[in-house]
Chains A and B, each alone.
Chain A
Amino acid sequence: MKKLERAFGNKLAIAIFIAPALILFTFVIPLPILHSFYMSLFKWDMLSTMTYVGFENYKELFSDGIFLSSIWHTIEITVLSLIFQVTLGLFLALCIVNITKGRKYFQNAFFIPNILSSAVIGILWFFVYNYDFGLINSILKSVGLDSLQQEWLSQKYVILALSITTCWQWVGYHMILYIAAISGIPQDIIEAAIVDGAQGLKMVTKIIIPQIRPVLRVSIVLIITGSLKYFDMAWIMTEGGPDFASETIATYIYRTAFNKLQYGLGSAASTFLFAVSILITVLINKFAAKREEMY
């Protein structure tokens, strides 16, 4: 035991132990990010020689209407995802925590979409939204609500449709997080609250939510960062269309870099996305941490 302690006291030994992970980490994460930023200062189609253009790509980026609208779509998806997934996840968690029989079944049922690949879910929901034979319109038709049938993947509804699909995919995951957090609340706090007359909604808003705040924060950060890089569903179901109505920052990056061969512009967009993600994560952590201290 002493020997081990001595080894961990030795800074060189620590450095040797850390080095492999550090090297790997440097290659896999920070270097590509730096490289991407470096690329964003060039005009390059991946074939001809690279020309240095300074911040020209960024200027072009922010004068491109499609990019600006892609930022807006990303924000819309983020907000909708937050609303759907947090409220529904919390609601399901509260329901499931209180049932004793069949709890496992419900837990698994809601969690299953999470283990399916996004490609499968994308194709599945592409059919669900189909005008002709899609599940939604068929149900509306069978109950006589023909007038409510819509082109779900049209410009008007596509963002909503995508957010619902994503909610279906991820809600189970957040629900599990919340269940774990709620189950972890000390029983005496709950009992004391009951004695004090807290019930129903009051119990949820005054006791449960404050108690699981750290988990809520993690879940919100996950949803926001996930939405910021929203790509898979949008690409599989609509390819950013129709007429760029569901273009997100991530599909924009893919389209410019790999379809239009504007590699520098694509890199500029991804650098922007990276900066925003970092900024938002830091902000949430700071803000939420402060609030947590208050309790």
Chain B
Amino acid sequence: MKKWLKVVALAILVVFSISVVLVGQMGEKKVQGATNELTFWSWVSDSDTIKQVYEQAIKEFNSTNKYGVKIKAVYTPGEQYKTKLQTAMAANNPPDILNMWAAGKMKPYVDANRLYSISDIMNKDSQWKSRYVDGVFDLTTFNGKIYGIPQIRVATVIYYNKQIFAKYKLTPPKTWSELVNVIKVLTKNNVIPFALDARDPWILAMYAEYIANRIDPDAYRKVQKDPNAWTDKAFIETGKKIQELVKLGAFPKGATSLDYVAARNLFDQGKAAMYVMGIWDVGYLSTQSPVKKYVGAFKWPALEGGKGNVNNFLAGIEQVIAISSNCKNKQAAAAWLKLLSEQRYAKDLLAEKAGYFPTVKVNPDPKKVTGLYLEVLNLLKDQNTKDSFTYYDVMFGPIIGDGFNNTIQSIYLGKDPVEAFKKLAEIAKKEMKK
């Protein structure tokens, strides 16, 4: 028996020593492809038109570039992308070029020196930078250096069903009390005012971010420095307004068991009159939605007595592409990014074909885009960039930002706004101390 134990012990010892050696080696050695091949990781799925943009630009680049470099794309859509990228980053084996998030979600990667700043390359090439709309790099700039190039602009507007509005003689509301009136008329006629997916906290948070801005645009700036500002009057008021909307019956019953598509279906079927969503849905709403002929858009209404202006947009950028600091050929990678900013990609494909709003200055042919696209483009022209703001979960990162989203969800479900924001302030305090 004793001898038997010895054998097992010996075997375990052997296994462990082998594993230690192996693990040690795995850490040292990085798996690398051929030196003239750059990998590009993206989260786009087959149904995204942006995938076509990438594919076509890669094809063009691979056959024409002077660096002798070939780009190879790897697509990992959805949540898996996040897990995959983090695992690769943790093993210090990142791709050369990659899809990235902006602002607070990008910052940890910048802080850990995982991304390469393209400022130097861009500054030498003034013609490249001038192709972009002003301010699109704000959310990818840290310590004065640009770390990523966004492909599309996003903003949130209120879409509405013109047919329903006409039927009940309503006009797009310009103030909160007009909005309340619209909601009252709609509920009286058994129309759901807003198609809301309350399962995903970020969607509800967009309402709150707008309301907070209309109350006081400074609140958003204050919380960036002082976590205690989360308990400011502006946010408490916001919470109360959300509960006011719930009480008015502004949202569908059972909204917590609706997902993105199910909520949009309510709008598509004409059961709901309004729909608060990003302009990334313009393409869908104006070409595929059953009510596509009747969809219009308006700005979030002002609040009587509030300091925020109707031209402050909840806006941001998306589809950021960054170069990792491990990239084997940064010049070549930058050249590919520059290629993406050509009009044939930004205007022809992104704007006219897919209905997106590119970060590159474009003048889409009015005949090639939909009426809703022009309507939204028109709204965005009034944008007051000074007091505009971006999605809190993007701005404040995964702990405070998602914390805000969850706070709003709990308020929607009936929690006292004062209590809820006090808790958020505590989370923020702990996080900002680090």
Contact = CB atoms under 8 A, between A and B. Distances in A.
B254 A241 contact: no
Nearest to A24: B15
Q: Is the interface of B mostly helix, strand, loop or mixed?
A: helix
Given A15-B7, A47-B111, A242 B19 contact: no
Q: Is the interface of A mostly helix, strand, loop or mixed?
A: loop
Interface residues of B, number: 44
Given A130-B254, A261-B86, A243 B11 contact: no
Given A46-B86, A239-B199, A241-B199, A153 B19 contact: no
B413 A126 contact: no
Interface string B407-419: 0011001010000
A111 interface: no
B402 A260 contact: yes
A14 B11 CA distance: 11
Interface string A256-276: 001111110000000000000
A130 B198 contact: no
Interface in A44-99: 45-48
B90 A47 contact: yes
A92 B198 CA distance: 38
A109 interface: no
A258 B85 CA distance: 10
B413 A155 contact: yes
B402 A132 contact: no
B256 A154 contact: yes
A125 B3 CA distance: 57
B15 A126 contact: no
Interface in B236-292: 252-254, 256-259, 262, 266
Nearest to B16: A26
B335 interface: no
B327 interface: no
B201 A241 contact: yes
B406 A243 contact: yes
Interface of B: 3-4, 7-8, 10-12, 14-16, 18-19, 82-83, 86-87, 89-90, 108-109, 111-112, 114, 198-201, 252-254, 256-259, 262, 266, 398-399, 402, 406, 409-410, 413, 415
Interface of A: 11-12, 14-15, 18-19, 22-23, 26-27, 31, 45-48, 126, 129-132, 134, 151-155, 238-239, 241-244, 258-263
